[in-house]
Amino acid sequence: MNVETASLVTEKRRLIVHDTLAIAVLSAVTVVLFVVTLFLFRSFESHRDELAKRWSGRGARALSDGHPIQAIGALRTALTYSPGNRNYQLLLAQALDKAGHTEESYNYFLGLWTTQPGDGQINLWLARLEAKRGNRADAIKYYRASIYGTWEGNGVERRRDVRLELAQYLLDQKQDNAARSELLIAAGNNPSDPSFEMKLAGMLAQAGDPGNALTSFEKVIAAQPRNADALMAAGRLMYANGMFLDARRLLDRADAEYDAHKGTKKPDDLPGLLQNSQRGVELVPSKRLKERDRIARILVARKIAQKRFAACSLQVAQSGQSPSSLQVLSSAWTGDLPSATGKALLNDPDAADATLKLIFDTEVQTNQVCGAPTGDDALLLLLAQSPNAQEE
């Protein structure tokens, strides 16, 4: 090998070594830069997450403290650090609703619903918002979707509560039959919870189903015999349906329990209900009484109703009106029944029943024409409106 060739080989080796070292250095620098960049990125992401959590926490606290406007600002900030975070979006949608931004809240929830239409909580919020917007059919649709939707934890209890909320909405919309159906389904799914049973009983009574309402009250009383509020509520219900004997029994127990719990304030209407229910017991012309005693009560009730009719007729005459219903009653009160003696009624059961019908018809018609009665007339009206109470 000549000198020139050896020099070229040496130069090539030097260049190879140089390039190799350069590549190695560049690779090392690249790795270092990658590590530094990754560390900075993760540090930045961690900081973003921390800021998002901090702002969302502020928003959640503001929302729970009743400051939705503050919550909106905090949650919007949280979403800038964590875009697309579903929990933050849910909180923001709720805050918008609480702040009165119904349409914006609705659009937010609707956007969440499109990605998760089976979510029970989202459907519940949409139901409430549709109710606020006056869209009854859509509100009911979302309520039902919520009942049959998915829930995280306590699904059975949450669905039951939503069904009660739907029932209350139906009651507010004067759809008592539909509400009653929902309440009876809820009653069948109740795992013996006295507090729930109390709420259910009150709603059943509101829906015009005193029988099932009383059944629910009885369940509460069976589980908690000294529950003064349950005894009081059941007594009120009995009284409102003319069941004066049972009402008196329950109200007496409630009165005793309130006395036993020192410091517990009695309901303001309790004394009046006790007095009136006792008077009602004395007025009921029950067929369980001896016939002579029953006729005596019919005669007392006839006198009360006749005075009510006379007062109402005078009121109507002074107003210049003449309702046809009062004209029919007027004919009846000028017939033979108002003057029949106790002996005559005792010997003629049909006449006794006809007299009782006249009494009840009078209380019902005068209530419609001359307004709600008071005193004994109010008690007779309750009996007239509750035929089963007459058998008490």
219-234 pLDDT tens trace: 999 999 999 999 999 9
Same domain, 300 and 373: yes
The answer for residues whose C-beta is within 8 angstroms of residue 201's C-beta and 6 or more apart is 213, 214, 216, 217, 220, 233, 234, 237
Listed residue (277, 278, 292, 233) closest to 258, CA to CA: 233
For residue 26, what pLDDT band results from cuts at 50, 70 and 90? confident
Where in the sequence is the domain holding 386, given as residue range(s)? 291-391
Phi/psi of residue 299, each to 5°?
-65, -40
Domain boundary among 238, 253, 283: 283
Same domain, 263 and 307: no
Name the more confident of 8 and 184. Answer: 184
Same domain, 302 and 318: yes
Report the domain count for the chain: 3
Residue 370 · residue 312 · CB < 8 Å: yes
Same domain, 300 and 367: yes
Residue 128 inside a domain? The answer is no
Same domain, 297 and 345: yes
Q: How far are the Cα atoms of 34, 180, 210, 233, 390 from residue 213, in angstroms, in the given order?
A: 72, 10, 5, 10, 20
Tell me: the pLDDT tens digits for 281-308? 999 998 889 999 999 999 999 999 999 9
Sole residue written with tokens 């000294």: 226
Same domain, 309 and 359: yes
Distance, CA of 165 to CA of 150 (rounded, Å): 17
Sole residue written with tokens 């389904």: 185
Residue 337 inside a domain? The answer is yes
Same domain, 322 and 356: yes
Residue 277 inside a domain? The answer is yes
The answer for residues whose C-beta is within 8 angstroms of residue 155's C-beta and 6 or more apart is 120
User: pTM of the full predicted structure?
Assistant: 0.76
Same domain, 339 and 361: yes
Domain boundary among 64, 85, 100: 100
Residue length of the chain: 392
Same domain, 384 and 306: yes
Share of the chain above pLDDT 90, in %: 58
Residue 209 inside a domain? The answer is no
Q: Is the pLDDT of residue 33 over 70?
A: no
Same domain, 277 and 309: no
Summary mean pLDDT of the chain: 87
Same domain, 302 and 375: yes
Same domain, 351 and 270: no
Phi/psi of residue 99, each to 5°?
-80, 0
CA 215 to chain centre: 19
State the pLDDT at residue 41.
46
